[in-house]
Amino acid sequence: MDRWYRTPILRQIGHVATYFPLRAAYGFFACLPSSLMRSACCWVATLIRWVDRTHARCAAANLTHAFPEKTNKERQAIVRGMYRHFALMIRDTILLWRHRNEDLLKTFFEDSDIEPFFELKREGKGLILVTGHLGNWEMAGCAFNSVYQINGFSHEFRNPYIRKSLIRLRATFGQKTIFTTQSMEVILECLRRNECLALLPDKHMKTSRIKVTFFGRHVYAPSGPAILSWRSGAPIFIGAAFRIGLSSRFRLETCPVIRPDLTAVKGAEIRRITQAYMDALEDLIRRHPEQWIWFHNRWKKQLPVP
Protein backbone atom coordinates (compact mmCIF):
# COMPACT_ATOMS: atom_id res chain seq x y z
CA MET A 1 0.00 0.00 0.00
CA ASP A 2 1.24 3.53 -0.78
CA ARG A 3 2.85 5.21 2.20
CA TRP A 4 0.85 8.39 1.78
CA TYR A 5 -2.37 6.39 2.09
CA ARG A 6 -1.51 5.49 5.68
CA THR A 7 -1.71 9.16 6.71
CA PRO A 8 -5.39 10.12 7.30
CA ILE A 9 -5.15 13.73 6.09
CA LEU A 10 -3.22 12.79 2.94
CA ARG A 11 -5.64 9.94 2.31
CA GLN A 12 -8.61 12.31 2.49
CA ILE A 13 -6.90 14.85 0.20
CA GLY A 14 -6.16 12.08 -2.29
CA HIS A 15 -9.77 10.90 -2.28
CA VAL A 16 -11.11 14.42 -2.85
CA ALA A 17 -8.49 15.25 -5.51
CA THR A 18 -9.44 12.09 -7.42
CA TYR A 19 -13.23 12.17 -7.13
CA PHE A 20 -14.26 15.78 -7.64
CA PRO A 21 -12.40 16.39 -10.94
CA LEU A 22 -14.03 13.19 -12.22
CA ARG A 23 -17.41 14.41 -10.97
CA ALA A 24 -16.88 17.80 -12.66
CA ALA A 25 -15.92 16.12 -15.95
CA TYR A 26 -19.02 13.92 -15.74
CA GLY A 27 -21.17 17.02 -15.12
CA PHE A 28 -19.64 18.73 -18.14
CA PHE A 29 -20.38 15.78 -20.43
CA ALA A 30 -23.90 15.48 -19.03
CA CYS A 31 -24.63 19.04 -20.15
CA LEU A 32 -23.73 18.27 -23.75
CA PRO A 33 -26.37 17.19 -26.27
CA SER A 34 -26.13 13.56 -27.31
CA SER A 35 -24.89 14.56 -30.77
CA LEU A 36 -21.76 16.17 -29.28
CA MET A 37 -20.95 13.64 -26.58
CA ARG A 38 -19.43 11.09 -28.96
CA SER A 39 -17.01 13.61 -30.47
CA ALA A 40 -16.06 14.91 -27.03
CA CYS A 41 -15.40 11.39 -25.72
CA CYS A 42 -13.25 10.53 -28.74
CA TRP A 43 -11.22 13.71 -28.25
CA VAL A 44 -10.71 12.88 -24.56
CA ALA A 45 -9.64 9.34 -25.51
CA THR A 46 -6.95 10.70 -27.84
CA LEU A 47 -5.71 13.12 -25.17
CA ILE A 48 -5.52 10.43 -22.48
CA ARG A 49 -3.72 8.04 -24.80
CA TRP A 50 -1.00 10.56 -25.51
CA VAL A 51 -0.65 11.61 -21.88
CA ASP A 52 -0.85 8.12 -20.40
CA ARG A 53 2.13 6.69 -22.24
CA THR A 54 2.93 4.08 -19.57
CA HIS A 55 -0.38 2.26 -19.94
CA ALA A 56 -0.36 2.71 -23.72
CA ARG A 57 3.03 0.98 -23.91
CA CYS A 58 1.77 -1.80 -21.60
CA ALA A 59 -1.22 -2.33 -23.90
CA ALA A 60 1.02 -2.48 -26.97
CA ALA A 61 3.32 -5.03 -25.27
CA ASN A 62 0.38 -7.23 -24.22
CA LEU A 63 -1.04 -7.14 -27.73
CA THR A 64 2.34 -8.13 -29.18
CA HIS A 65 2.28 -11.31 -27.08
CA ALA A 66 -1.42 -12.02 -27.60
CA PHE A 67 -1.54 -11.36 -31.37
CA PRO A 68 1.95 -12.01 -32.80
CA GLU A 69 0.36 -12.57 -36.21
CA LYS A 70 -0.91 -8.98 -36.41
CA THR A 71 1.16 -6.10 -37.73
CA ASN A 72 2.25 -3.25 -35.50
CA LYS A 73 -0.19 -0.98 -37.34
CA GLU A 74 -3.08 -3.33 -36.53
CA ARG A 75 -2.09 -3.53 -32.87
CA GLN A 76 -1.85 0.26 -32.59
CA ALA A 77 -5.34 0.51 -34.08
CA ILE A 78 -6.59 -1.80 -31.30
CA VAL A 79 -4.94 0.44 -28.67
CA ARG A 80 -6.64 3.52 -30.14
CA GLY A 81 -9.96 1.70 -30.25
CA MET A 82 -9.54 0.57 -26.64
CA TYR A 83 -9.07 4.11 -25.32
CA ARG A 84 -11.98 5.31 -27.46
CA HIS A 85 -14.24 2.54 -26.17
CA PHE A 86 -13.57 3.25 -22.50
CA ALA A 87 -13.98 6.99 -23.00
CA LEU A 88 -17.36 6.34 -24.62
CA MET A 89 -18.44 4.59 -21.44
CA ILE A 90 -18.84 8.11 -20.00
CA ARG A 91 -21.56 8.74 -22.57
CA ASP A 92 -23.05 5.30 -21.91
CA THR A 93 -23.45 6.09 -18.20
CA ILE A 94 -25.09 9.45 -18.91
CA LEU A 95 -27.53 7.93 -21.42
CA LEU A 96 -28.23 5.05 -19.05
CA TRP A 97 -29.26 7.55 -16.39
CA ARG A 98 -31.37 9.57 -18.83
CA HIS A 99 -33.29 6.46 -19.92
CA ARG A 100 -33.49 4.82 -16.50
CA ASN A 101 -37.30 4.65 -16.59
CA GLU A 102 -37.41 2.86 -19.96
CA ASP A 103 -36.97 -0.75 -21.02
CA LEU A 104 -33.16 -0.81 -21.10
CA LEU A 105 -32.98 -3.97 -23.21
CA LYS A 106 -34.97 -2.33 -26.01
CA THR A 107 -33.23 1.02 -25.64
CA PHE A 108 -29.62 -0.15 -25.67
CA PHE A 109 -29.46 -3.72 -27.01
CA GLU A 110 -29.84 -5.23 -30.46
CA ASP A 111 -30.39 -8.86 -31.47
CA SER A 112 -30.11 -10.08 -27.88
CA ASP A 113 -31.81 -13.40 -27.25
CA ILE A 114 -32.45 -13.53 -23.50
CA GLU A 115 -34.42 -16.78 -23.55
CA PRO A 116 -31.36 -18.75 -22.26
CA PHE A 117 -31.50 -16.58 -19.12
CA PHE A 118 -35.12 -17.56 -18.49
CA GLU A 119 -34.31 -21.24 -19.09
CA LEU A 120 -31.48 -21.12 -16.55
CA LYS A 121 -33.69 -19.30 -14.07
CA ARG A 122 -36.31 -22.03 -14.33
CA GLU A 123 -33.69 -24.53 -13.11
CA GLY A 124 -33.80 -22.75 -9.73
CA LYS A 125 -30.10 -23.12 -8.87
CA GLY A 126 -29.13 -19.49 -9.29
CA LEU A 127 -26.65 -18.28 -11.89
CA ILE A 128 -22.97 -17.34 -11.82
CA LEU A 129 -22.44 -14.73 -14.53
CA VAL A 130 -18.78 -14.52 -15.50
CA THR A 131 -17.80 -11.58 -17.65
CA GLY A 132 -14.79 -9.31 -17.64
CA HIS A 133 -13.73 -5.71 -17.99
CA LEU A 134 -14.94 -6.23 -21.51
CA GLY A 135 -17.53 -4.31 -23.50
CA ASN A 136 -19.73 -2.39 -21.06
CA TRP A 137 -20.25 -4.61 -18.02
CA GLU A 138 -22.21 -1.97 -16.10
CA MET A 139 -24.68 -1.58 -18.96
CA ALA A 140 -25.15 -5.35 -19.14
CA GLY A 141 -25.79 -5.64 -15.40
CA CYS A 142 -28.36 -2.84 -15.41
CA ALA A 143 -30.21 -4.16 -18.45
CA PHE A 144 -30.38 -7.83 -17.47
CA ASN A 145 -31.47 -7.10 -13.94
CA SER A 146 -34.98 -7.28 -15.44
CA VAL A 147 -34.47 -11.05 -15.85
CA TYR A 148 -32.41 -11.91 -12.77
CA GLN A 149 -31.74 -10.13 -9.51
CA ILE A 150 -28.10 -9.16 -10.14
CA ASN A 151 -25.61 -9.24 -7.27
CA GLY A 152 -22.34 -7.63 -8.32
CA PHE A 153 -19.31 -9.11 -6.56
CA SER A 154 -16.68 -6.44 -6.10
CA HIS A 155 -13.63 -5.28 -4.19
CA GLU A 156 -14.29 -2.20 -2.09
CA PHE A 157 -12.90 0.91 -3.73
CA ARG A 158 -10.40 2.67 -1.50
CA ASN A 159 -12.01 5.99 -2.47
CA PRO A 160 -15.28 6.23 -0.49
CA TYR A 161 -16.78 8.82 -2.84
CA ILE A 162 -16.32 6.61 -5.91
CA ARG A 163 -17.57 3.60 -3.96
CA LYS A 164 -20.78 5.35 -2.90
CA SER A 165 -21.42 6.68 -6.41
CA LEU A 166 -21.03 3.23 -7.94
CA ILE A 167 -23.30 1.58 -5.37
CA ARG A 168 -25.90 4.32 -5.87
CA LEU A 169 -25.81 3.89 -9.67
CA ARG A 170 -26.24 0.12 -9.45
CA ALA A 171 -28.96 0.39 -6.81
CA THR A 172 -30.93 2.75 -9.06
CA PHE A 173 -31.29 -0.11 -11.52
CA GLY A 174 -32.07 -2.72 -8.88
CA GLN A 175 -28.61 -4.23 -8.52
CA LYS A 176 -27.11 -5.28 -5.22
CA THR A 177 -23.41 -5.20 -4.35
CA ILE A 178 -21.57 -7.92 -2.44
CA PHE A 179 -18.05 -7.06 -1.36
CA THR A 180 -15.18 -9.51 -1.11
CA THR A 181 -14.96 -8.80 2.62
CA GLN A 182 -18.34 -10.48 3.18
CA SER A 183 -18.62 -14.15 4.12
CA MET A 184 -19.00 -17.06 1.74
CA GLU A 185 -22.41 -17.77 3.28
CA VAL A 186 -23.72 -14.38 2.10
CA ILE A 187 -22.56 -15.17 -1.43
CA LEU A 188 -24.06 -18.67 -1.46
CA GLU A 189 -27.33 -17.38 -0.03
CA CYS A 190 -28.00 -15.22 -3.10
CA LEU A 191 -27.60 -18.34 -5.28
CA ARG A 192 -29.99 -20.27 -3.05
CA ARG A 193 -32.53 -17.50 -3.68
CA ASN A 194 -32.15 -18.23 -7.41
CA GLU A 195 -30.43 -14.91 -8.03
CA CYS A 196 -27.47 -14.05 -10.25
CA LEU A 197 -23.96 -13.47 -8.94
CA ALA A 198 -21.91 -11.38 -11.40
CA LEU A 199 -18.12 -11.80 -11.34
CA LEU A 200 -15.30 -10.12 -13.27
CA PRO A 201 -12.32 -12.47 -12.78
CA ASP A 202 -10.23 -11.42 -15.81
CA LYS A 203 -7.69 -9.21 -14.00
CA HIS A 204 -4.60 -10.27 -12.06
CA MET A 205 -5.58 -10.67 -8.40
CA LYS A 206 -3.66 -11.52 -5.27
CA THR A 207 -6.22 -14.26 -4.57
CA SER A 208 -5.58 -16.01 -7.90
CA ARG A 209 -4.43 -19.56 -7.22
CA ILE A 210 -5.14 -21.80 -10.24
CA LYS A 211 -2.58 -21.95 -13.05
CA VAL A 212 -4.26 -21.64 -16.46
CA THR A 213 -3.36 -20.83 -20.05
CA PHE A 214 -4.52 -17.43 -21.31
CA PHE A 215 -3.57 -16.25 -24.81
CA GLY A 216 -0.92 -18.95 -24.97
CA ARG A 217 0.80 -17.85 -21.75
CA HIS A 218 0.47 -19.22 -18.24
CA VAL A 219 -1.12 -17.07 -15.55
CA TYR A 220 -2.89 -17.57 -12.24
CA ALA A 221 -6.68 -17.21 -12.27
CA PRO A 222 -9.24 -16.94 -9.45
CA SER A 223 -10.79 -20.24 -8.45
CA GLY A 224 -13.79 -18.47 -6.87
CA PRO A 225 -16.27 -18.99 -9.74
CA ALA A 226 -15.43 -22.70 -9.92
CA ILE A 227 -15.66 -23.20 -6.15
CA LEU A 228 -19.00 -21.40 -5.98
CA SER A 229 -20.35 -23.48 -8.85
CA TRP A 230 -19.14 -26.69 -7.17
CA ARG A 231 -20.64 -25.81 -3.81
CA SER A 232 -23.99 -24.53 -5.08
CA GLY A 233 -24.52 -26.51 -8.28
CA ALA A 234 -25.18 -23.21 -10.10
CA PRO A 235 -24.19 -23.09 -13.79
CA ILE A 236 -21.66 -20.57 -15.06
CA PHE A 237 -22.81 -18.30 -17.89
CA ILE A 238 -20.10 -16.38 -19.78
CA GLY A 239 -20.98 -13.36 -21.88
CA ALA A 240 -20.38 -9.68 -22.55
CA ALA A 241 -22.24 -6.65 -23.90
CA PHE A 242 -20.23 -5.44 -26.90
CA ARG A 243 -20.49 -1.96 -28.35
CA ILE A 244 -21.72 -1.69 -31.94
CA GLY A 245 -19.48 0.78 -33.76
CA LEU A 246 -19.16 4.04 -31.84
CA SER A 247 -22.79 4.03 -30.73
CA SER A 248 -24.28 3.35 -27.32
CA ARG A 249 -26.03 0.31 -28.72
CA PHE A 250 -24.82 -3.14 -27.65
CA ARG A 251 -25.06 -6.78 -28.62
CA LEU A 252 -24.91 -9.58 -26.08
CA GLU A 253 -22.48 -12.33 -27.11
CA THR A 254 -22.13 -15.51 -25.10
CA CYS A 255 -20.23 -18.79 -24.77
CA PRO A 256 -21.53 -22.28 -23.86
CA VAL A 257 -22.75 -22.68 -20.29
CA ILE A 258 -20.33 -24.43 -17.91
CA ARG A 259 -21.85 -26.89 -15.46
CA PRO A 260 -20.07 -28.56 -12.52
CA ASP A 261 -19.62 -32.34 -12.54
CA LEU A 262 -20.27 -33.18 -8.90
CA THR A 263 -19.17 -36.78 -9.46
CA ALA A 264 -15.63 -35.74 -10.45
CA VAL A 265 -12.68 -35.25 -8.09
CA LYS A 266 -13.12 -31.80 -6.58
CA GLY A 267 -9.59 -30.47 -7.20
CA ALA A 268 -9.51 -31.60 -10.81
CA GLU A 269 -13.02 -30.25 -11.45
CA ILE A 270 -12.12 -26.84 -9.99
CA ARG A 271 -9.12 -26.65 -12.33
CA ARG A 272 -11.23 -27.75 -15.31
CA ILE A 273 -13.92 -25.14 -14.68
CA THR A 274 -11.35 -22.38 -14.12
CA GLN A 275 -9.58 -23.16 -17.39
CA ALA A 276 -12.95 -23.41 -19.17
CA TYR A 277 -14.14 -19.96 -18.12
CA MET A 278 -10.74 -18.41 -18.95
CA ASP A 279 -10.89 -20.03 -22.41
CA ALA A 280 -14.37 -18.57 -22.88
CA LEU A 281 -13.20 -15.09 -21.84
CA GLU A 282 -10.29 -15.35 -24.26
CA ASP A 283 -12.71 -16.26 -27.03
CA LEU A 284 -14.86 -13.20 -26.27
CA ILE A 285 -11.81 -10.91 -26.15
CA ARG A 286 -10.57 -12.21 -29.50
CA ARG A 287 -13.93 -11.31 -31.06
CA HIS A 288 -13.61 -7.64 -30.03
CA PRO A 289 -10.04 -7.00 -28.77
CA GLU A 290 -10.49 -3.22 -28.76
CA GLN A 291 -13.06 -3.55 -25.96
CA TRP A 292 -10.82 -5.18 -23.33
CA ILE A 293 -8.40 -3.62 -20.79
CA TRP A 294 -5.08 -4.28 -22.51
CA PHE A 295 -3.44 -1.57 -20.40
CA HIS A 296 -3.77 -3.90 -17.39
CA ASN A 297 -0.70 -6.12 -16.93
CA ARG A 298 -2.54 -9.42 -16.77
CA TRP A 299 0.75 -11.30 -17.22
CA LYS A 300 2.42 -9.60 -14.25
CA LYS A 301 3.76 -12.92 -12.95
CA GLN A 302 5.65 -14.79 -15.63
CA LEU A 303 5.08 -18.52 -15.24
CA PRO A 304 7.26 -21.13 -16.97
CA VAL A 305 5.67 -23.11 -19.77
CA PRO A 306 6.01 -26.85 -19.02
- Residues 160-202: tens digit of each pLDDT: 888 888 888 888 888 888 888 788 888 999 999 999 999 999 9
Task: Read off the pLDDT of each residue in 146-154 and give the average, rounded to a whole number.
Answer: 87
CB 166 within 8 A of CB 138: no
Give pLDDT, residue 205: 77
- Residues 48-71: tens digit of each pLDDT: 999 989 999 999 999 999 999 999
DSSP the chain: --GGGGSHHHHHHHHHHHHHHHHHHHHHHHHS-HHHHHHHHHHHHHHHHHH-HHHHHHHHHHHHHH-TTS-HHHHHHHHHHHHHHHHHHHHHHHHHHHTTTS-HHHHHBSS---HHHHHHHHHTS-EEEE--SBS-HHHHHHHGGGTS-EEEEEPPPSSHHHHHHHHHHHHHTT-EEEETTS-HHHHHHHHHTT-EEEE---S--TT--EEEEETTEEEEE--HHHHHHHHH---EEEEEEEE-TTSS-EEEEE-PPB---TTS-HHHHHHHHHHHHHHHHHHHHHHSGGGB-TTS-TT-S-----
Name the band, by pLDDT with cuts 50, 70 and 90, for residue 1. Answer: very low
Higher-confidence residue of 159 and 259: namely 259
Question: Would you say how long the chain is, in residues?
Answer: 306
What's the mean per-residue pLDDT of the chain? 88
Query: 219 CB contacts (<8 Å, ≥6 apart)?
Result: 204, 208, 211, 212, 213, 298, 299, 301, 303
Give pLDDT, residue 265: 94
Give pLDDT, residue 295: 92
Give pLDDT, residue 70: 96
Cα(132)–Cα(239) distance, integer angstroms:
9
Q: For the chain, what percent of residues have pLDDT higher than 90? A: 56
Distances (CA, A) of 120 to 110, 149, 189: 21, 13, 17
- Residues 100-141: tens digit of each pLDDT: 888 888 889 987 667 888 888 999 999 999 999 999 998 888
- Residues 29-45: tens digit of each pLDDT: 888 888 789 999 999 99
Pseudo-torsion of CA 102, 107, 111, 115, nearest 10°? Answer: -10
Give pLDDT, residue 303: 57
Give pLDDT, residue 150: 92
- Residues 269-290: tens digit of each pLDDT: 999 999 999 999 999 999 999 9
Long-range contacts of 74-83 (CB under 8 A, 24+ apart): 77/290, 78/289, 78/290, 78/294, 79/49, 79/294, 80/45, 80/46, 80/49, 81/290, 81/291, 82/289, 82/290, 82/291, 82/292, 82/293, 82/294, 82/295, 83/45, 83/46, 83/48, 83/49, 83/56
pLDDT at 212 over 80: yes
Give pLDDT, residue 126: 93
Specify burial of residue 99 (Cβ count, 10 A radius: 0-12, 13-18, 19+): middle
Give pLDDT, residue 196: 94
Higher-confidence residue of 147 and 207: namely 147
Distances (CA, A) of 41 to 93, 102, 268: 12, 24, 46
pLDDT at 304 over 80: no
